[in-house]
Amino acid sequence: MKFAVLVFPGSNCDIDCYKAVEDTLGEPVDYVWHTATDLSAYDCILVPGGFSYGDYLRCGAISRFAPVMAEVAKAAEEGKYILGICNGFQILTEAGLLPGTLRRNMSLKFRCHDTVLRVENNENPFTAQYAAGEEITIPIAHGEGNYYCDEATLAELKKNNQIIFRYVNNPNGSVDDIAGISNRRGNVVGMMPHPERAVDALLGSEDGKKMFTSILKAWRDRHESASVR
Ligand SMILES: NC(=O)CC[C@H](N)C(=O)O
């Protein structure tokens, strides 16, 4: 399975994502610059955190015009796995690949600390190895992590089981304590907390590991059943 880690000017979690794939899975992974126009070689695209384009206008508002984003949309359409973490989540909402938006934290302060998340949906390629309702410790580091969507969109998210993680103690004012969501099909996930910073006991938590191993298992299951057919 081949992973891409997108890099925008101002990304700062690209190396963490790369290392998380390398150390947790040992699968091939490449950095892919934001001007790339071909992602066909990749099975999973990680959109990492950071301050792309200095967070000017709104977080992710400029990045969504990067040439690579047309390829990300194509990959989503093809059913490939796409995970946006923090600034990556912001970029995916700005690009319209996930519903809703991220606003300034309710406190108007940058928040950087561990959070406890509840796994709300484990019937998803990104979370299948967690137990439903499992509580995991994953750090946040953001100034604009306050997830917002209108009531009709929230009703849709609930109806289609698109809420993947909720905060146990809401750190930013997100509607319905939402920490991570998927698209309707379930192959695109965005989350504000950073699982790639929780893949080793030395980092304070290993609870993010299962996101990476879940993706690999989902891909293998799909791949193997396709080759048996
Ligand atoms: N760690 C990050 O990706 C930060 C995201 C964004 N720059 C914010 O502050 O909200």
Please name the residues in contact with 132: beta carbons below 8 A apart, sequence gap of 6 or more: 119, 120, 121, 122
Locate 180 and state its tokens. 């991570």
Sequence letter at residue 123: E
The CATH number that applies at residue 37 is 3.40.50.880
196 catalytic residue (yes or no): yes
> What is the domain range of residue 56?
3-228
Q: Which atom of ligand 1 is nearest to the CA of 145?
A: 10
Locate 56 and state its tokens. 């000017």
If one counts the domains in the chain, the total is 1
User: ipTM of the assembly?
Assistant: 0.95
Percentage, residues of the chain above pLDDT 90: 97
Residue nearest to atom 3 of ligand 1 (CA): 49
Report residue 26: phi and psi, to 5°: 65, 25
Q: Which atom of ligand 1 is nearest to the CA of 55?
A: 7
201-213: pLDDT as tens digits: 999 999 999 999 9
3-45: pLDDT as tens digits: 999 999 999 999 999 999 999 999 999 999 999 999 999 999 9
- Looking up tokens 């306050």 gives 146
194 catalytic residue (yes or no): yes
Give residue 12 CA to ligand 1 midpoint distance, Å: 9
